[in-house]
Structure 1
Amino acid sequence: MKRRRVLNSRSSTDGFTLIEILVVVIITGILFAIAAPNWVAFVNQQRVSAARTQVSQAIRNAQSKASRTKVAQAIVFENRIGQSLRYAIVPISDTNAPVVDRTKIKTWENIGDASALRLSVAQGDFASPPPLIFNIYGSVITTNLPTAALDQPLYTVTIGTTRSANPRRCVRVTTLLGATEEASDSACPPNRTS
């Protein structure tokens, strides 16, 4: 019986005091406040990098499809405010006067996984950038693109977040043969909003 009383009296003093619990909660809150901005920046960087990889792959797919099918292909990008970015690869019948009717495209693919991304093409309008067109050999057709200086890429797609200037990632088509390169932050043109 004495043993039972000892156990009962011991269990009534076990546990944490209110002050100990408050200290743990406050320390956890401070650690979370320090880590949260870094975590958000990391997540944004990963989203933008994944979208850049997707754009780069889409450009390579359009080029490959053009040379494989022997039909000129255009890759069309579209910004939709408040919605996901998207692209489509469509055949072009007349490469001398290439026209892409965006309203007739049914094969749109979303870029990235969030509406917090923004895309701009350095060579064109923000809302409807000019398409990047590959001929039947997989080379870039430049008739629909503004004339670029010799040291400038033919076509540059910049992807960033809607909330800040960085992180910025871009894919540049640098030669008439369609060679691409990827760049980051200051090596990319600013992401336009209009």
Structure 2
Amino acid sequence: MPNILSLKLLDSLQSHSRQPKLKQQYLANRPSSDGYNQQNAGFSLIELIVVLLLVGILAAIAAPGWAAFVNRQRINKVNDAVFAALQEAQREAKIKKLSYSVSFRKNSTTQEVAIYRTDIGISTWKPLGTDVGVSSDKFLLGTNLNSTTENTADSNVSYSLNASAKITFDYMGTLPNTSLGTSGLQIVVAVPSSANPTSPSSVKRCVIVNTLLGSMLTAKDNKCS
């Protein structure tokens, strides 16, 4: 005859064996009181629309600032190319003890530069900006150089460049027969105006030859007259 201890042990084992089944039945039959189940996971259509609208608003706010940044980077690169061209002509003049010139012109829609021995003349024009990855339609080129008198500054910068504009360095790298005016000899690159692509905006960069010795500096915006 089984004793009382054996009966209690048997009952305990049976109770433990029933617990997992009871738990599974409870979980299966439990109502979804918090309103969440696997089928409701993810975003609703309204939530997605709201997110897309917010992204669009943020993009519209950021786009003008990004475009302005890109434009500034472009004309910075072109201005560096202008500076390098002038330096190259001045350096060649000093090394070879000959006069060297830099000319700029607008040829149809292409803005070009040439570096050459003054006594030989221009052999090759090169599109300005291509070496730094900027196409001519992304900037305007202007100068205050007088088109008929060498190394002479006019009072205003012209962006038409109907005739080529030239700066000449003598065999010492200085500027012979120079009239610098009040603002020096300026080569200006500008971002086209959004209202009129043939007119410059206020975003400008320039190289200024400001002494008879051929000293050069760079400036921007309202300092590029």
Q: TM-score, normalised by structure 2?
A: 0.68
1:6-25, Cα deviation, whole Å (9 max, x unpaired) = 9xx94322111100100000
CA distance in 2, matches of 1:161, 1:76: 21
For these two proteins, the number of residue pairs brought into alignment is 173
Residue 71 of structure 1 deviates from its aligned partner by 2.1
| Separation in 1, partners of 2:146, 2:108 | 17
Coordinate RMSD, CA, aligned: 2.6
Q: Which has more radius of gyration? A: 2
Kindly indicate whether the alpha-carbon contact (under 8 Å) linking 2:105 and 2:165 is maintained by their aligned counterparts in 1. Answer: no
Give yes or no for the alignment of 1:16 onto 2:34. no
| SS of structure 1 residue aligned to 2:69 | helix
Residue 90 in structure 1 maps to residue 152 in structure 2 = no
- Asked if residue 61 in structure 1 is aligned to residue 88 in structure 2, the reply is yes
- 8 Å contact 2:203–2:221 — kept in the other structure? yes
Q: 2:102 maps to what in 1?
A: 75
Task: Give the aligned residue type for 1:178.
Answer: G
Aligned to 1:97: none
CA contact (8 A) 1:76 1:88 kept: yes
Q: Match for residue 67 of structure 2?
A: 40
Distance in 2 (alpha carbons) for counterparts of 1:55 and 1:136: 21
1 or 2, which has the higher helix percentage?
Answer: 2
Percent identity between the two aligned chains: 26
Cα deviation digits, residues 17-70 of structure 1 (max 9, x gap): 100100000000000111111111111111111111111121111100111122
Aligned to 2:223: 187
**TM-superposed deviation, 1:141:** 2.9
Return 5+ residue gaps in structure 2 as ranges: 1-23, 30-35, 148-160, 194-199
Between the aligned partners of 1:182 and 1:26, the Cα distance in structure 2 is 43
Change (3 A) 1:110 1:39: same
| 1:152 aligned partner | 183
Shift of 1:107: 5.0
Determine if the alignment matches structure 1 residue 130 to structure 2 residue 165. Answer: yes
Mapped contact 2:89–2:115 kept (Cα < 8 A)? yes
Hey, what's the Cα distance between the residues in 2 that align with 1:109 and 1:59? Answer: 15
Q: Cα gap change, 1:81/1:118 in structure 2, threshold over 3 Å: closer, same or farther?
A: farther
Q: Which has the higher contact order (CA 8 A, sep 6+)?
A: 1
Q: Which moved more, 1:106-115 or 1:68-77?
A: 106-115
Give the Cα separation in 2 of the matches to 1:15 and 1:130: 66
- 2:142 corresponds to: 120
Q: Secondary structure at the match of 2:113?
A: strand
Name the CA distance, whole Å, in 1 between partners of 2:76 and 2:163. Answer: 22
In the alignment, the residues of structure 2 paired with residue 80 and residue 32 of structure 1 have an alpha-carbon distance, to the nearest angstrom, of: 37
Instruction: Indicate the larger mover: 107-116 or 21-30.
Output: 107-116
